[in-house]
Amino acid sequence: MKELMRSNDAVLISFVDALLKEAQIPHFVADQHMSILDGSIGALPRRIMVESDEIEKARRLMRDSDLGHELSTGS
């Protein structure tokens, strides 16, 4: 799996998760339960991980949705 993006913005993570589900792109939201460690203040970013063979499709979807600026470095 490769990292598509990371963010502290729970709404953004939820939106991208929904986009990927709708496009049927296999993915995983990592670090969802890290709020236990940071006291629910959102200091630790969540990551969206995508299957390696689907990463370009996911990046294209992000760019087409005007979210290209949210892509992880190297995207």
Q: Is residue 75 part of a domain?
A: no
pTM for this model (two decimals): 0.82
Within-domain flag for 60: yes
- Under a CB-based contact definition with an 8 Å cutoff, are residues 52 and 2 in contact? yes
Per the domain annotation, does 48 fall within a domain? yes
Domain range holding 16?
2-68
Q: Identify the CATH number of the domain in which residue 59 sits.
A: 3.30.70.790
**Predicted pLDDT of residue 42:** 58
Is 26 a member of any domain? yes
Per-residue pLDDT at 10: 86
* 21 inside domain: yes
Count: domains in the chain: 1
Give dist(CA 35, CA 28) in Å, integer.
17
The predicted pLDDT at position 36 comes to: 58
Query: pLDDT of 4-61, one tens digit each?
Result: 999 988 899 999 999 999 999 999 999 876 655 655 555 678 899 999 999 999 999 9
Let me know if residue 57 belongs to a domain.
Answer: yes
Report yes or no: 50 and 30 within 8 Å, Cβ to Cβ: no
C-alpha 22/C-alpha 45 separation (Å) is: 23
Q: What's the pLDDT at 39? A: 57
